[in-house]
Amino acid sequence: MKIRKEDLKSAAVALLVAFAANPFLSGVAANEVSNCGKAIECLSDGWEFRADGGSWRRVRVPHDWSIESAPAKGGETGKEWGFYKAGKGEYRRTFEIAEADLVKHLELAFDGVFRFPEVYVNGKLAGKGTRYGYTGFRIPLDGKVKAGKNDLLVKVDNSALPGSRWYMGSGIYRGVRLEKMAYPYVEPLSVDVRTKLLSDGSAEVAFTWWSVEPPGSAHLKVENRYTRVIKNPVLWTPETPKLYEQEIGNGVKVRFGIRTVEWSAEKGFLLNGKPVEMHGACVHHDHGPLGAASEPEFEYRKARQLKEAGFNAVRTSHNPVSEEFLSACDELGLLVMDDMFDGRERKKTNGDYCEVFKDDWRRDVEWIVRRDRVHPSVVMWSVGNEILERSEPFAAETTKQMHELIDRLDGTRPVTQALCLWGEKWEDQDAMAANLDIVGYNYLEHFTESDHARLPKRVIVYTETYPKDAAMVWNRIVKHPYVIGEFVWTGIDYLGETGIGRNFYTDRELHGEHWQGHLPQFPWHGAYCGDIDLTGHRKPISHYRETLWNPGAKTYLAVREPDGWKGKIATSKWSVWPTHDHWTFAGWEGKKVTVEVYSRRPKVELYLNGRLVGAKDVSAETAWKAEFELDYAPGELTAVGIAADGSKEKCTLMTAGEPKDVRFSHCRIGRYDWITAEVVDANGTVCPYADREVDFGAASLSGEVVATCSGDLSDNVPAPSATRRTWMGRAMAVVRK
């Protein structure tokens, strides 16, 4: 059953089903639709690559050649990318076609290339890819290949720089497949699934897809339909991301989840009829030291990091992500705001998508919606971020046209767009907002109440918020049902937008925001505004945010860096005061330190070396935080959260002694290990200021060291280096087995 937008206006109910697959069970990413009649060859190995006409070398795809370079002062991509290299490159390999396969429909499927790819088969141009870089494309091979060995060459031009406000990466950075489809085959991106919840508690699931018939048939394409009734279904939620499987004919298997969505100013956002507040994070597409290369394991780790940090939602800022990331969100239970574009018709940087937007947006929107509508995690479409023409009538008309196209392709999810205010009159954007189901506010929380008073039917989502405003944002969301949630900028530190989120020591360095021309960004190459750093370590702000949203969060103890200990501190817009998960401040003995305790227990006590420092009540009124000021003394600092029944929960920090060892810990996902190295003292306490070189290649680790990093965004040793200096006592390596 297809639900039309006009059927949803009163309650704004969207009933849908979507696919999910586990792409981590094998060495290649699984398609969302598994087709036994389609042979899929993953083209990961066997490639050679050269940059700017240099020497050929062997690489594995997905591949990002920019991350292999060291950020360099004056680097061509500038502060937008983090001073990495880009340019032009070429990839080549051969592939085999059996004689029997020549009667099938053959295609090369590219999930993402940066940018402007040209694909040559056996020396002839077979086709060009999308100009966006984030959307995939397919190259038909019928009549272009022969039985036996065939040559494949892909030319990539990523020299229109910077091309983006953040790190893009360069090359064939997402997967490539050779697909051999026997007739009749399922047309790619044609499968759709809709559901209707019945009065007896069951769900009616309607599957539709297009079959492509052999050449010469009476009908080249045939629409197919199949309906299934599921008794007492387990509905998909972030807590119970239940997935089902169904074979719909011709060997096609679909994994899907069932859920309902409603949105209104009176009730907020309802998932399966129950209120859900989105406590979400914005994330860019890079994977830190792995660059833009998109292996399934990298995407799964990112989604799991967010989930484990207490987030229940993610905004894919500001572009379509890989299908593997959406699959991970399906499986782990993360609500997704599917963000499509940053700018639209007026460019923000040289060479960005705005230069081709007017010609390409319809094709790209259709690709995004057709691919992503089958994911239960996707609950909202976003059609722009802080577009420069946001107050112009033509921009509102474009938003209307985008909304209409999305409704024709889906029509079951709300459409939003992130608005902002840079000095113009806020009410001038009402025309834009009128074409949205849910209005996105970037850093505009102060308009919440006044906008509701003048526009009581408006549904609001905070599409970007400052990390330091966590408590204020939380309070507004729990207070106002018409505000459905927030997406903090950002969940994870990332490459590019150099220096966002950093703090400064004003007595020894220039300070200001990253866009101010007087501030020399280098050697910084990334943004430090994430709740989680590049090694995967959660900062104290992450634990505080989780405490605000999660009644079951554990009591957590953090220490504000003393102002003047290392220098006079100044924060910036996206930073928080430097706050640490250690009790090691040599030379500050006897001077004042502020300690923060985050707890959902109604009372907390703080002890230093066994002596009670003080006790305080915590509640929603205190934003679940207690602060204590005390004189610093080395030793043991302990916070105790005390429940109403008297049960106690402890969190302890120890002053680190002399560094003794490097401790390694492993996290295995599929074919990769993430290995963390920590400098520790004799008691196993991390030594936060005793940084040392760690040679992961010589650390008796089995496998190939693919990349290393620390949380230090001014460390410009090339990412593929097996040697890395720890920062705050930690470094990380990614090892391929």
pLDDT (average), residues 607-636? 98
3-class secondary-structure state, position 567: coil
pLDDT score of 262 more than 60: yes
For the chain, which residues make up each domain, given as ranges?
5-23+192-262, 38-181, 263-527, 551-581+583-654, 661-736
CATH of domain 551-581+583-654: 2.60.40.10
Q: What single-letter DSSP state applies at residue 447?
A: G
Give the tens place of pLDDT for each residue, 359-396.
999 999 999 999 999 999 999 999 999 999 999 999 99
**Is 50 exceeded by the pLDDT of residue 3?**
no
Check residues 416 and 512 and name the one with the higher pLDDT.
416
CATH architecture, domain 661-736: Sandwich (2.60)
Residue ranges of alpha helices (H) inside 317-356 are 323-332
Q: Using alpha carbons only, what angle is made at residue 689 by residues 677 and 569, rounded to the nearest 5 degrees? A: 125
What integer is the mean pLDDT of 633-639? Answer: 98
Average pLDDT rounded to a whole number, residues 679-700: 92
Residue 27 has pLDDT above 50, yes or no: no
pLDDT score of 8 more than 60: no
| C-alpha 710: how far from chain center | 20
Residues in the chain: 737
Task: Output the CA–CA distances (angstroms, integers) from residue 251 to 20, 88, 122, 190, 544, in the order listed.
Answer: 17, 41, 32, 16, 49
Strand ranges (DSSP E) for 47-174? Answer: 47-51, 57-59, 87-97, 105-110, 118-121, 124-128, 137-140, 148-158
Confidence of residue 249 (pLDDT cuts 50, 70, 90): low
**Residue whose pair of structure tokens reads 């070396």 in the numeric block:** 609
Reading the block at residue 55, the tokens are 């020497």
Question: What's residue 36's pLDDT?
Answer: 41
**Stretch 159-185: mean pLDDT:** 95
Which residue has better confidence, 622 or 24? 622
Site of tokens 């907002």? 433
Q: What is the CATH number of domain 38-181?
A: 2.60.120.260
Chain centre distance of CA 173 = 16
pLDDT at residue 400 tops 60: yes
CATH class as words, domain 263-527? alpha beta
DSSP string, 230-270: ESS-----SS----EEEE-STTEEEEEEEEEEEEETTTEEE
Edge-first strand listing for the sheet containing 636-642: 611-617, 603-608, 636-642, 648-654
The DSSP code for 62 is S
Q: What pLDDT does 14 receive?
A: 34
Say if CB 214 and CB 184 are below 8 A apart. yes
Hey, do 38-181 and 263-527 end up sharing a CATH topology, with the first three levels equal?
A: no
Mean pLDDT of 301-327: 97
SS3 406: helix
For residue 157, the model assigns a pLDDT of 97
Nearest CA among 23, 21, 84, 58 for reference residue 496: 84
Higher local confidence (pLDDT), 709 or 253: 709
**pLDDT in the model for residue 519:** 78
432, 390 in Cβ contact below 8 A?
A: yes
Local confidence band at 38 (pLDDT 50, 70, 90 cut-offs): low
Residue 509 is predicted with a pLDDT of: 86
Tokens found for residue 553: 């969060």
Tell me how far apart the alpha carbons of residues 322 and 491 are, in angstroms, rounded to a whole number: 17
Which of these, 455, 499, 443, 448, lies nearest to 477 by C-alpha position?
448
CB-based contacts of 173: which residues, under 8 Å, 6+ apart?
62, 63, 64, 112, 113, 114, 291, 292, 293, 294
- Please, which residues bridge with residue 179 across strands? 40, 107
pLDDT at 129: 96
Confidence check: pLDDT of 667 > 70? yes
pLDDT computed for residue 195 by the predictor: 80
Q: Is 196 exposed, middle or buried (0-12, 13-18, 19+ CB in 10 A)?
A: middle
For the ranges 134-138, 692-696, 698-702, the lowest mean pLDDT is seen at 698-702
d(CA 187, CA 545): 44
Bridge partner list, 17? 258
For the stretch 334-345, what's the b/e string if a residue is b when 16 or more beta carbons lie within 10 angstroms of its beta carbon?
Answer: bbbbbbbbbbbb
Question: Using H for helix, E for strand and C for coil, what is the string for 583-614?
Answer: CCCCCCCCCEEEEEEECCCCEEEEEECCEEEE
Residue type (1 letter), 451: D
Q: How much is the pLDDT for 463?
A: 98
Instruction: Convert the pLDDT of each residue in 401-449 to its tens digit.
Output: 999 999 999 999 999 999 999 989 999 999 999 999 999 999 999 999 9
Q: d(Cα 493, Cα 286) in Å, to the nearest integer? A: 10
List, in order, residues 6 or more apart from 102 with CB less than 8 Å away.
Answer: 145, 146, 147
Q: Is 112 helix (H, G, I), strand (E, B) or coil?
A: coil
